[in-house]
């Protein structure tokens, strides 16, 4: 499905309720599988969370092959690898194991660091094709080791995967992170969710400790905050709109666990004010951007890099974004994809392994087709540019990975969208 977004329209001052955080939902779904008395509210309606839920509820008897396909869901691949590693004796897993696979792109995304860490703990995992990459075969067993180390600058999903299963290990887990830590907020999110269940943890310097806790007596439903990554596209829309434009989003809280809540601070430089009102945020374009270049270190929130880069291009200002080394192993190589599509629109972009620099541009080309590379964030990050020029989003349905109602929500606030 290709969509044309037209530039001749006015944004309505609207209210939207966004689905629960994909990051929180997927962590809590795994914890719910480990502790079945947990109840969850406002779970994400994303494809990734649906894949996660189905895999956790599966009886692993698909034609006796026990094959679980997570498609493009990177979080599910990492979390489920750890989960199945401790599922001793479930159905046929002790004999044949569970084979965890995904899309062709998923089979190009590395899993070796996590597999090696789980093997240090005693897990039995083997590769079905290429060493270090899915598909993998996991034979669930009791893990008795409790100390493991891994590089600190890897995807935080590897780290969180280990922390989520830690309380179910006989001796808990002592995890040592070697070097500079990437995406600290996501690690802290995982620990905070464990704490909500009464599980004791500590995170001091580069050592994370999670105590063993076989059961939990948590009785209160856990309400999941809406997704800040999804909110980023509305921050971009407000930044590209005239002064006075306003959108209200729910449900959000000021003391968020999500690293992407840094948006509220970052987008002040674009003239966007964030007001927290009970469980809502009100976004208002209060002033025009006064800066000629935006510098952002995004180690803790790399998922909003695409949104920020497109916002800068739309406003005709330069940017230098760093801390982006994990973007090369996402749904696509996001740095290269950003460079390709921005340059089609007339931008001048340079990238390294962990940074993107955008030069000031005074014009944007009309009716350009934006390739999305099977990456939901490419589609959504470029959509706000329709406030400046008409453009075409190819394979627009890819947004269902994290935000299935995205295009309807844009229509509700005034975007003119037609299917080609």
Q: Please identify every residue annotated as catalytic.
A: 303
Q: Residues 124, 138: contact at Cβ < 8 Å?
A: yes
**In degrees, to the nearest 5, what angle opens at C-alpha 149 toward C-alphas 72 and 166?**
70
Q: Are 239 and 271 in contact (CB under 8 A)?
A: yes
User: Cβ(268)–Cβ(243) under 8 Å?
Assistant: no
CB 81 within 8 A of CB 121: no
Q: How far apart are CA 399 and CA 408, in angstroms?
A: 11
How far is residue 15's CA from residue 282's CA, in Å, rounded to a whole number? Answer: 9
Give the Cα separation of 380 and 366 in Å (integer): 18
Closest CA to 397 of 34, 39, 9, 47: 47
| String of DSSP letters for 361-382 | -S---SSEEE--TT-HHHHHHH
State the DSSP H helix or E strand holding residue 277, giving kind and residue range, or none if neither: strand 272-277
Q: How far apart are CA 386 and CA 107, in angstroms?
A: 34
DSSP state of 354: S
């Amino acid at each position: 499905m290709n969509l044309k977004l037209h530039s001749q329209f006015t944004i309505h001052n609207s209210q939207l309720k966004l689905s629960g955080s994909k990051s929180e939902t997927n962590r809590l779904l795994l914890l719910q599988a480990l502790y079945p008395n947990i109840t969850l509210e406002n779970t994400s309606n994303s494809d990734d969370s649906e894949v996660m839920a189905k895999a956790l509820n599966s009886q692993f008897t698909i034609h006796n092959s026990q094959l679980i396909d997570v498609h493009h869901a990177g979080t599910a691949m990492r979390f489920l690898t750890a989960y199945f590693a401790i599922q001793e004796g479930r159905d046929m897993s002790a004999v044949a194991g569970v084979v965890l696979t995904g899309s062709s792109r998923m089979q190009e995304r590395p899993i070796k660091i996590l597999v090696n860490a789980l093997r240090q703990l005693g897990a039995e995992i083997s590769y079905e094709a290429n060493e270090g990459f899915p598909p993998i075969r996991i034979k669930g067993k009791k893990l008795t080791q409790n100390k493991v180390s891994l590089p600190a600058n890897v995807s935080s999903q590897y780290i969180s995967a280990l922390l989520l299963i830690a309380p179910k290990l006989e001796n808990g887990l002592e995890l040592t992170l070697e070097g500079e830590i990437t995406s600290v907020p996501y690690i802290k999110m995982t620990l905070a969710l464990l704490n909500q269940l009464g599980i004791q943890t500590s995170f001091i310097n580069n050592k994370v400790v999670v105590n063993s806790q076989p059961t939990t007596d948590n009785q209160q439903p856990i309400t999941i905050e809406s997704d800040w990554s999804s909110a980023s596209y509305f921050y971009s829309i407000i930044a590209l709109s005239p002064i006075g434009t306003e959108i209200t989003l729910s449900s959000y809280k000021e003391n968020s666990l999500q690293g992407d809540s840094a948006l509220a601070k970052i987008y002040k430089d674009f003239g966007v004010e964030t007001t927290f009102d009970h469980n809502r945020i009100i976004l208002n374009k209060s002033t025009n951007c006064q800066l000629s270049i935006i510098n952002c270190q995004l180690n803790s929130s790399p998922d909003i890099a695409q949104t920020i880069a497109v916002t800068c291009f739309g406003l005709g200002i330069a940017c230098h974004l760093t801390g982006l080394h994990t973007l090369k192993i996402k749904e696509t190589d996001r740095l290269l994809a950003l460079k390709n599509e921005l340059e089609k629109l007339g931008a001048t972009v340079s990238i390294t392994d962990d940074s993107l620099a955008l030069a000031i541009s005074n014009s944007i080309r009309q009716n350009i087709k934006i390739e999305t590379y099977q990456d939901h964030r490419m589609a959504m990050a470029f959509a706000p540019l329709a406030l400046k020029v008409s453009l075409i989003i190819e394979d627009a349905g890819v947004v269902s990975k994290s935000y299935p109602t995205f295009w309807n929500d844009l229509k509700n606030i005034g975007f003119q969208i037609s299917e080609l």
